[in-house]
Amino acid sequence: MLRDLVYLFFPKYCAACDNALFKNERILCTSCRHELPLGNFHNVNAKKIEKVFYGRVNIENATALFLFQKGSLVQNLIHNLKYRGREEIGNELGKWLGNEISQNIDYQLIDVVIPVPLHQKRLRERGYNQVEQFGIEISKKLNADYVDSVLKKKSYNNKQSKRGKLTRWKNTAETFGTQNESLLENKHILIVDDIITTGATIEACVRALQTIPGIKISVASMAITE
Ligand SMILES: [Zn+2]
């Protein structure tokens, strides 16, 4: 009774299409659950996403839950997660992708899940790292550890987008550092991020981590641009 009243006055909205949810729906409406474009990279399209990193850095496996297009439901979903305080979207997407990849041999051997870090300043502004819950849920599904104390973002530069492509690349590459590296020695790690576009952020993370002895690196993101 009380729950029904609460629902009446505070309806919950679908994280992708913003329509009101029915009582039996959670985070995403039934229609969006069926319509969101799955990447399915860990099953059939693996080479497609790994190609993004060919000749740049060594990646064992890479996958993304959704395909990303401008103006799409996926864009709105990630916008709600990053800018409208809906951190629970990360949990939902982490459970979804975690369930899928836990059935794939390539991902069953992951030891540690680590998030692409936010700079402290950005973290204070947003209040949370939007990939944290995503990574935690994936680590649970894979029986892996979740470690956010090794990879750190070193500099904060909000003028980045005004610079040329080459400069921006170098700039990104210089912004990640590591500490407590022994936590990741001889581990197969899974870096998690929200959207892969050029792959430059992941590349910078891999460059910072690849000097750790015996490390193997795979990647999982919420979405990848087509
Ligand atoms: Zn919806």
Distance CA 128, CA 103 (A): 29
Topology of domain 36-225 in CATH is: Rossmann fold (3.40.50)
Q: Which two tokens stand for residue 138?
A: 């994936």
pLDDT of residue 40: 87
Per-residue model confidence (pLDDT) at position 224: 95
Residue 197 is encoded by which pair of tokens? 């576009």
CA 29 to ligand 1 center in whole angstroms: 4
Nearest in space to 195 (alpha carbons), one of 79, 41, 110: 79
Tell me the CA–centroid distance for residue 21 and ligand 1, in Å: 8
What parts of the chain have a pLDDT lower than 70?
1-11, 156-174
The rounded Å distance from CA 126 to ligand 1 centre is 24
Q: How far apart are the CA of 33 and the centre of ligand 1, in A?
A: 7
Q: What's the confidence (pLDDT) of residue 5?
A: 59
How far apart are the two ends of the chain, measured CA to CA in Å?
46
Cα–ligand 1 centroid distance for 194 (angstroms) = 19
Cα 44 to middle of ligand 1, angstroms: 26
Is the pTM higher than 0.75? The answer reads yes
Give Cα 185 distance to the centre of its chain: 23
Residue 7: what pLDDT? 55
Q: What pLDDT was estimated at residue 120?
A: 87
DSSP string of the chain, one letter each residue: -HHHHHHHHS--B-TTT-PBPPTT-BSB-HHHHHHS-B--TTTT-HHHHHGGGTTT---S-EEEEEEE-TTSHHHHHHHHHHHS--THHHHHHHHHHHHHHTTSHHHHT--EEEEPPPPHHHHHHHSS-TTHHHHHHHHHHTT-EE--SSEEE----TTGGGS-HHHHHHHHHTSEEE-SGGGGTT-EEEEEEEEESSSHHHHHHHHHHTTSTT-EEEEEEEEEE-
Going from N- to C-terminal start, the domains of the chain cover: 1-35, 36-225
d(C-alpha 70, C-alpha 64), whole Å? 16
Tokens representing 12? 């919950």
Tell me which residues have their CB within 5 A of the ion that is ligand 1. 14, 16-17, 29, 32
Q: What is the pLDDT of residue 2?
A: 59
